[in-house]
Amino acid sequence: METQPPQAPASGFDPVLDADLAELSLGASAECALQAERYRRIDSAVRRAVAIADPLGGRQSLDEQFARRSITAELALILRVHERTMVGLIYEAAQLCGPFANTLAELSAGTITQRHAREILAAAVFLPPTLHARFERESLVKARTMNVSAFHKAVARIRDRLHPDALEARASKSRGDRRLVFEPDADGMAWLHLYLEAEKALAISTRVGDLATEAQKEAAEAGELGADVVAADEATGELTDGILGAGTHAQLEADIAAELLLGLPAGSSDGESSHIPTLAFARPEVFVAVPKITIGIDTLIGTSEEPAELHGYGPIDADTARRLVAQAPTLHRILTDPVDGTPLQLDPTQYRLSASMRRWILYRDETCRFPGCTRKAERSETDHTRAWESGGLTVEENLAVLCKKHHRLKHNSRWRVEQTGGGNLKWNSPGGREYMTTPSRIQHAPPHTGPPDSESSSAPEPPARFADTPPF
């Protein structure tokens, strides 16, 4: 027997659907209220942390600075966000609990969303404080009835209408925010964000697009295909690299941009040389460790397809790794203990690290070892966990990478840290919470658990680390 789907009542009212929609509406309002309360708690916590900061030798302003840094770090760990994200949340909380209290009230009531509130705060940054009240009042009228996409445009128009400065002056000031941002993604890919003047960005995009179109036309002519194939590819974005030998327009744009920036051949999987010389700073630096390795010896010589590790990104396929090695001007070999994988060390009583030991610590940790920090090790400092003047040795078990900000925080706040073995760090926050951080690249050999045989039972002890033996 065929079952017919349920039909809505003739009146168009469906009680189940109505109940679902009502619950979603209530849930959305409750979520907004919860977000508003979170802002209140964040602002309260920061104010309290600064108020109870212990003065250190009369340096009240400096002490408040580290109190703010300390509570920022702890809030970031509690909410499981990056410290940069937490700085933004603290700023939003201060604004919503201060000059933009009406926006917080609307958020708490559920008449606007958190994204609406953030649009208001983001636009208000560009206005002088004397205009904030008027700007907030006009923006809230729009926010109550618009979705976020439409409100983004509306609030920009309100901001530009109220702004006392000419656009030319604002554009000149904004040029100071130019930057390049690298964002890792999955499967050996990444995003590269470039923030610069609109006319330059448009010129780059247009030029790369024109070059991609020309490349597609050349590929079409070489394959004796008509312009209609190229036009169809541009219109649909469908993959036609099997026909044109090039790829979609978007793929060509990415390849050409890489060629222009780095001198890499477009679609450079074949390893052909580019007519644009590779920039010196773009050449890779390769680390090879024995027996635990960044790129394994077997992978390097082609007898294994085990992935390698691209420093600052993560795993990459063997073919890509071998191609990078071929371009590398330097190759660092890291000799390690065959039992636990740690590097052989120099005289531990010396304060300064050797270049080779520092290289190993940077490689091992990869990033700052403060909980949640992702600052690259190369842009950070090497710290003695137990101070050298207090008896701490210059050995791997007492060394870790800390960025300058968290290095200073360690010495100027109530955050405490200790090594627990294997390069692991245990941090205790001023609020009494405990956090563990682990080196990115420590790989210990698994212990031998099988029954001893005649060879293993007579095997010599692992070699000891000698102070006069160069480790690399």
Q: Which tens digits make up the pLDDT trace of 123-162? A: 999 899 999 999 999 999 999 999 998 999 899 889 988 9
CA-nearest of 445, 428, 341 to 77 is 428
Phi and psi at residue 406, to the nearest 5°: -80, -25
Q: Which tens digits make up the pLDDT trace of 301-327? A: 677 777 776 665 566 677 777 777 776
Alpha carbon distance 67, 73 (integer Å): 10
Q: What number of other Cβ atoms are within 10 A of residue 404's Cβ?
A: 12
Per-domain residue ranges for the chain?
21-173, 184-270, 283-335
CA-nearest of 287, 426, 300, 282 to 364 is 287
Q: Are 88 and 99 in contact (CB under 8 A)?
A: no
pLDDT of residue 462: 34
Overall pTM > 0.75: no
Q: Is 116 left (phi over 0), alpha (psi -120 to 50) or beta?
A: alpha
Confidence of residue 74 (pLDDT cuts 50, 70, 90): very high
Higher pLDDT among residues 461 and 344, named by residue: 344
| Tokens found for residue 107 | 């958020």
